[in-house]
Structure formats: structure tokens, C-alpha cells
Homo-oligomer: A and B are copies of this chain.
Amino acid sequence: MEPIRVGLLGLGVVGGGTFKVLARNAEEIARRAGRHIVVTKVSARNLDKARLRVGDAAEIVADPFDIVRAPDIDVVVELIGGDTLARELVTEAIRQGKHVVTANKALLAKHGNEIFALAHQHHVMVAFEAAVAGGIPIIKAIREGLSANRIEWVAGIINGTTNFILSEMRARGLPFAEVLKEAQALGYAEADPTFDIEGVDAAHKLSLLAALAFGIPVQFEHAHIEGISTLDQQDIRYAEELGYRIKLLGITKARPEGVELRVHPALVDQHQVMANVDGAMNAVMVKGDAVGATLYYGQGAGEEPTASAVVADLVDVARLLTADPGHRVPHLAFQHDAITDQPILPIDEVRTCYYLRLTVNDIPGVLADITRILADADISIVSMIQKPRPDVTQADIIFITHEALERNVKIAITRIESLTTVLSSVTYLRIENLG
């Protein structure tokens, strides 16, 4: 069979990795795909550097539109990143009738609905396994492997940078800022780490997972996003003492009244597999009504793990080339016309368990006041610990609650903070049961 001719846009970390893996494993891949998959054109900003990397194996061009519009290219692989030029290139490629493979979660989180609709219209595929959790084939698992299920929820550690930072904070007892600096020095965090540490990158990915799981449009703009930059070392220690680890989770849940879509730090029982996902590793748990809970674990970033996902998409595209478009695996797991909008629930509508920490004057009656407020807000307590403070007239109190409505928790917190015996604001963290 004729080889598939790939045009590679971008020769950075993932682009370089993709070129390398396709070359190194060319025979192994062809044994599987039944044909060769060959990068015939590459676009790069630095042509000399690109030449060193690619040699004579592919044509190198400066203008990526020359690839997107080339008649002798079957599939365009977009690895430029960002959502301006990349958007133009991807939409133009689709208009030219070319299949697209991309690792660009920011692009798809923001413009996915437009891009998938255009692809549907032009009968081409847009594959994006590399956009979520690097080399872990989580998109394929949800889209195809669990297609028998009504998916109930998806929850995961889908940002390696923050998981690395949290793992180090716990293991070594260091504050956030210090570990962040180390992560930057090690290359685990970028010079401007905002997207990672504030949860935006995880929310990009989560909004794609929600669409795949529930057959809804991509709704990044409605995600509730909290990062880890304000996370206090003492909450990591207290959580540990109570049998929990703190992880930055992306969680999306189908409920009768709508879909939860939220990224925030959360306490996870230390005996659950998710709590033991350390360092820069990623893991995603998917709960289906038939299959129960399944979990997928691996490297969520990096040159070759991400390239692994890009190349797997290329093999898929190669295989589905001859299936009529109506029989192909749909981009977002559900048929284009079966995607149904559902409201994303505001964070106040979330029901989960909570960890509350506050500092009080250690005098009789304080606890009675606080527990009365919690009871009035329909919040029942699983356990409570009291910890002495350097100033012996004060104490830290930590509550673990049963499932409660977030709105009620916030109301209770406001009332608790107005007590004169309460000396601090109330730190609250959600607890997720991923059993």
C-alpha cells in the first residue's frame, strides 16, 4: 500500500519526538498499520536547526501554510501550540480536505466545537489523543473502550507539573514557592508557570474529557478552576495525618440537573490508587455504569510519551481512511448530531465532602457554636481533630464533613468566620471519594 504522507507543523519538543519515533519505529509501525507513515514535509521557524534534526528525510519549509495546502500531504500534524496561528492552520487544513492530528489542548478547549463542526462538514478526522495525559491512551479508552457505558464521572491527575510540586511538598515538607523554583530548574515547570499551577491547563484537558464522556460540547469557559499556588503546607500535613493526600484533580460528573466541571486541589484517601500517583505522572479514573471504575496511568508529558499518542493517532487515521465518514469513530465519541448541550453546574451546586480548618480561641463553647452553625447548614461531621498552637490559648480545629452542598458550606463558613472566638478565616478543601 502507498505510504501515508504526513506534514509536520512545528519541530519543538513534541514535533521532534514525533519525527524521531516515526523514524525509529518505522518498521514496527508499518507491521501494525499495514503501510508506512512518512513525514514528507516539516515546517519550522529555524530552518538550519530543522535540517540538522531531519536531515534529508523530509522537505523543510518556513511557511506552515505551504504544508497545509500541499496536494501531496494526507495528514497535517499540528504541534505549534497556541490558539491563533494554530487555529488558522488547522481550519485551513480541514478546508483543504486534510486529516489533522494535534496535541493542542488550549486550541481545542477554546475552539474545539468550531473545529470539530468544520471537520464534520469536510468529512475529515481531527485526532487529539496527545492533548490529554500525554502518552496514556485515555481518549481512546473513553471514546471506544468504554462505549458500552453510561459514563458517570471522570476524575484525574492531568497536569504533571502540579503533581510533581504536590508530591515534593508532601515528601519534603517544603512550601509551594520553594518547590516551584526547583521544578522550574528541573524543567518540570515553565518560566511562566501560571497555566499549570493555576489549573488552566488541567481545565483545558478536563473540558475535552467531559465532552468525550457525556456527549456534550466542549465547555472550557464554564469550568470552575482553582490552582495550587495558595495551598498551605500545613494542610498537606494535616491531610496526611487524617489519612489523605492532596492532589490537583480535574473532575467532571454527570448529574440529572447538569454536569460538574471543576479543577481544584482535593483530598484523596491514601489507600486509593489515585493518592499514590506521584511525581510528574498522570492518572485518569473513569466510572462507567457497566464497567465500574477503571484507571489509566502513565507519563502525561514529555517528548516521546506525547509523540507516542501523536503517532497512534496517525495509525488510526491511516486505518480509517477508507471507512465511510459516517462509520468512523466520531471526534468527540458521540455522533456529531447526537451531541447534546447540558448545563455546566456552578460550583455552588456541587455536592462533595469537605475539609475545614480554622484557628479558634481555646475556650469553652467555641465548638458548640461552630457545630451548631454546621448543623443548621445541613452539614454533618465525620470527624474532628484539635491541634495545639504555639500560643496555648489558641487551637487549630479541622473538620471532615459528610457530603454537603457547596453553597451551604460557604454560608456556614461566613457565619463561622463572624464568630469572635474564631481567629482565622476558614480554609476549606474538597474531599473526593474515587473508590
Quote the shortest CB–CB distance from A282 to chain B (angstroms).
10
Contacts of A32 in B (CB 8 A): 143, 147, 215, 330, 333-335, 338
Q: How far is the CA of A83 from the CA of B90 in the complex (A)?
A: 51
Quote the shortest CB–CB distance from A370 to chain B (angstroms).
36
Task: Decide: A298 near B289, CB < 8 A? Known: A25-B150, A148-B308.
Answer: no
Question: Can you name the residue of chain B whose Cβ is closest to the Cβ of A302?
Answer: B292
Q: Is the CB of A312 within 8 A of B135?
A: no
Question: Can you name the residue of chain B whose Cβ is closest to the Cβ of A32?
Answer: B147
A246 part of interface (Cβ distance < 8 Å): no
Quote the shortest CB–CB distance from A200 to chain B (angstroms).
25
* Contact mask for chain A residues 143-166; partner B; CB cutoff 8 A; 1 contact, 0 none: 111111110000000000000000
* Contact mask for chain A residues 16-36; partner B; CB cutoff 8 A; 1 contact, 0 none: 010001101100111111100
Contacts of A289 in B (CB 8 A): 24-25, 304
Q: Is the CB of B299 within 8 A of A150?
A: no
Q: Is the CB of A296 within 8 A of B295?
A: yes
- For A312, give its contact among B22, B148, B277 (CB under 8 Å): B148
Task: Decide: A25 near B298, CB < 8 A? Known: A327-B322, A335-B31.
Answer: no
A326 part of interface (Cβ distance < 8 Å): yes
Which one of A33, A308, A333 has the highest number of Cβ atoms from chain B below 10 Å of its Cβ?
Answer: A308
Q: Is the CB of A308 within 8 A of B146?
A: yes
A136 part of interface (Cβ distance < 8 Å): yes
Q: Is the CB of B291 within 8 A of A305?
A: yes
Contacts of A315 in B (CB 8 A): 144, 147-148
Quote the shortest CB–CB distance from A72 to chain B (angstroms).
20
Q: Is the CB of A149 within 8 A of B308?
A: yes
Contacts of A295 in B (CB 8 A): 295-298
Task: Decide: A327 near B318, CB < 8 A? Known: A291-B304, A295-B296, A297-B294.
Answer: yes
Contacts of A329 in B (CB 8 A): 319
Interface residues of A in 304-343 (CB under 8 A from B): 304-305, 307-312, 315-316, 318-324, 326-330, 333-335, 338
Contacts of A136 in B (CB 8 A): 291, 294
A137 part of interface (Cβ distance < 8 Å): yes
Q: Is the CB of A327 within 8 A of B316?
A: no
Contacts of A30 in B (CB 8 A): 338
* Contact mask for chain A residues 383-425; partner B; CB cutoff 8 A; 1 contact, 0 none: 0000000000000000000000000000000000000000000
Quote the shortest CB–CB distance from A143 to chain B (angstroms).
8
Quote the shortest CB–CB distance from A111 to chain B (angstroms).
23
A140 part of interface (Cβ distance < 8 Å): yes
Task: Decide: A326 near B1, CB < 8 A? Known: A25-B290, A150-B25, A311-B148.
Answer: yes
Quote the shortest CB–CB distance from A325 to chain B (angstroms).
10
Interface residues of A in 120-146 (CB under 8 A from B): 129, 134-137, 140-141, 143-146
Question: Can you name the residue of chain B whose Cβ is closest to the Cβ of A282?
Answer: B294
Q: Is the CB of B291 within 8 A of A308?
A: yes
- For A330, give its contact among B34, B311, B323 (CB under 8 Å): B34
- For A29, give its contact among B141, B147, B326 (CB under 8 Å): B147
Quote the shortest CB–CB distance from A342 to chain B (angstroms).
13
Q: How far is the CA of A329 from the CA of B144 in the complex (A)?
A: 13
Contacts of A34 in B (CB 8 A): 326-327, 330, 335, 338
Q: List 9 A-B contacts (CB under 8 A).
A: A25-B289, A34-B326, A140-B141, A144-B315, A147-B315, A273-B273, A288-B308, A289-B304, A322-B324
Chain A residues with a Cβ under 8 A of chain B: 1, 17, 21-22, 24-25, 28-34, 129, 134-137, 140-141, 143-150, 215, 271, 273, 276-277, 288-299, 302, 304-305, 307-312, 315-316, 318-324, 326-330, 333-335, 338
